[in-house]
Structure 1
Amino acid sequence: MKKTCSVKVISITPFTKTGDLDEQAYRLHLRRLADAGVTVWVAGSGTSEGYTLSAEERDRVLAISVEELKGKVPVHAMGCEPRLTSEMVDFLAAAERSGVDAAQIFSLQIGHTTKVTPREMRLYYETALSATDMPLYLSSHSASGYFIPIDMIEALADKYPNLAGVAYGGSDIQHFAELIGRLKDRMEVHCAGPANALTCLGLGGHGFMGGEGNFSPRMVQNVIDAWHAEDRGALRDAFATLMAFASVYARIGGGSAARGLKPLMNAYGLPGGELRLPRLPIEETELQQLIALVRRIPIPGVPEPQELAKTA
């Protein structure tokens, strides 16, 4: 089964200075993502600060996301790493109620660096996959401390037709190549982060995901557009631009609650909003350094940075 290649942007969640959900900023931001044509993941744990959301706030984020994105671009509920299987089942129920196109099953993290056994892992995924008929994606990421065995993913795909894809967040290219080779005709296979995007596409995978597109959704979509157009020059330039920004993005914490991403977006007049405690933004001197680095990169679709207020 041939599946379309795509880039999936893990959206930020803007908050006000008092810590409330900034609905206006969030809507403006989602419209930027929709205009670029990217797939959007919402209410995730890192870039989205989803772990700070109450159940009511999570439901509101999902509702706004559906209102702004449904029918324009794919909108998926990302969620957070659960401690209990029941937490993931509850999240999937909320995602299904909201009307999003799909949801993710994040890796089970039971605390204190404890890794789940293969039998525990299998039971967890079977319980989650059987809880809903909506399309579901798996996350197999180094951040969880373990990867899902490829044999297990294949067995799950045999049993659950709603298993729609998997995102691999690791550096073992041989493992990634085998993952793509065995699964690409059955489900979407993306890489987490842009570094292996061209490797993924070249091996027959379906694209990449990350938070970089919050700053410029056109920047990340250009890579996919150039790939589809088979324009090697445009692909080289688009990927070089993305990786130049990715190096800056990594300096500010990457997906770690957007510590630098939100201040950078705000400096450019983009709807970034505020961080939510316990996370704190980067210092003003760090922000100015980042702005200087970003201005050297030909990033599409962003204005010149605004004049920042001087701190006393």
Structure 2
Amino acid sequence: MRPVRTALAGALLGALTLAGCGQSSGTSDAASATPTPAASSQAAGFPVTVQAGNGPVTIGKKPTQIVSLSPSATESLFAIGAGPQVLAVDDQSTYPADAPKTDLSGFKPNAEAIIAKKPDLVVLANDTGGVVAALTKVGVPVLLEPAATKLDETYDEIADLGAATGNKAKADELVAGMKRQIDELVAAAPKDKKLSFFHELDNTPYSVTSSTFIGQIYAQFGLTNIADEAPDAAGGYPKLSTEFVAKADPDLIFLADTKCCGQSRDTLAKRPGWAGLSAIKKERVFTLDDDIASRWGPRVVDFVKVVDEAVKRAAG
């Protein structure tokens, strides 16, 4: 399973070079007491222009046949109430369970296959093979929402999707709730004890530095990331040796490869030189849902809760 996890890291690396998201703007017309169909569309918030990673995108009317080729976007769309508008999602969109999963690929999007679905909005995380231009050429609105590098970008992408789908109020509510929960958890977490940690992407093992979205979540809790001292940071996703991790002896270990690679405290203890690690001896190995730990959608709150619980247990 390692190639899948490595591909994920590679996709994230490529996405980080793309432009970030922006704010959205819409127009409305309430001048007529008896609105025409066009005025009704405007009153509902359309047309709307969204500043996405591919620049300003204008959406003429509320989309009802959305194709999402980003697992994070899929989660966000359903969380803001746009689920009934989603026609198809990519083969990696595993949540929610009732999302209309297809064999469409977000890693290698096929413009012809996407167009065949007759979408009125496509959401992507990567512009691979010039897919954005190909879809735009035939008049399909496309939102490029690349991998978030910080929480503010997550919030902004959710706001973009809310505006683009006519679910702005629900998106604003979701973002406000996420901010509140995360801020409360971080504020209440003990920070008087300096703790180090190791986050494992896969059993190679690849990890993440503090410059990544994942790394910044941990940084909010005042944790020291052992991967920051790796000799080759690889754009934020270094491949660490077992010797490097053993020497660093982190206080906490977080495993984001429980589904893909079946990793656990027991499997770690069998690695050369790891049985004596503090985190293993003190039972401070915490398992994460692989999907939640690799996405930047609304379930990032669940990820933060696991980190919060780990910090409390170690400090207690």
Instruction: Tell me the TM-score normalised to structure 1 length.
Output: 0.27
**Higher Cα Rg, which structure:** 2
* Higher relative contact order, structure no. (Cα contacts within 8 Å, ≥ 6 residues apart): 1
